[in-house]
A = this chain, B = another copy of it.
Amino acid sequence: MNNQSLNPKLTVFVAGAEGLWTIQRNQPSIGPALPMAAKLTVTSAWPPKSGNWALAGVSSNARYLERKEKTSLQAVQAPLGRPEAKCAALIPIKKSDAWWELTQEERRHIFEAESHHIAHSLKYLPAIARHLYHCRDLGGEFDFLTWFEFAPGESDRFEELVDNLRSTEEWKYVVREVDIRLIYSGSSLK
């Protein structure tokens, strides 16, 4: 067989006893919780050898950005892995069947015209780095995993960002959301 290892471009978040990130909080925001765990590892290996749970996603093409928005985001976004960004959040969400039955134009309308998802996000860049992983087509429990990284001093701004997202029209289509907060605890410099 020429493709036994199905997905070489996976990013896998494994929660268990080991990992460079310490889980400080793991709370369901909408729907069922994820099991508790002490640490989180970010890897590309699937299936994981150990752990309490794992969530996998892939970086994919942008679905909603228009050209001007893409250019604006690219101009200000921050990379993951900055040494000062010792705080992180992993927010897995699942959207309703009603969302996925909408057409692209209908989803885009809710996403930006009504919810200002992109415009609001821009306000927090480059302080809060974020990366979106798609997982709906991978058949897991969630549709998206968003990973955020920021310096401890940006924590209040991060709460504002999350509160903002949760108050949008778009978020009415979220049927499951878990909010996981982490602190970098690797022994070496980040």
Contacts and interface: CB of A to CB of B under 8 A. Distances in A.
B103 A62 contact: yes
Of the candidates A6, A63, A65, A100, the one having the most CB atoms from chain B within 10 angstroms of its own CB is A6
Q: State the number of copies, please.
A: 2
Of the candidates A48, A56, A64, A138, the one having the most CB atoms from chain B within 10 angstroms of its own CB is A138
A51 B3 CA distance: 11
A108 B141 CA distance: 29
Q: In terms of DSSP, what is the predominant structure of the interface of chain A?
A: loop
Contacts of A55: 3
B139 A67 contact: no
12 contacts: A3-B56, A6-B46, A6-B56, A60-B137, A61-B101, A62-B103, A63-B63, A63-B104, A67-B103, A67-B105, A70-B103, A134-B137
Interface string A1-41: 11110111110000000000000000000000001000000
Contact of A51 (B1, B10, B108, B134): B1
Interface string A39-52: 00000001110011
A2 B53 contact: yes
Given A1-B47, A2-B53, A7 B105 contact: no
Nearest to A70: B103
Nearest to A55: B3
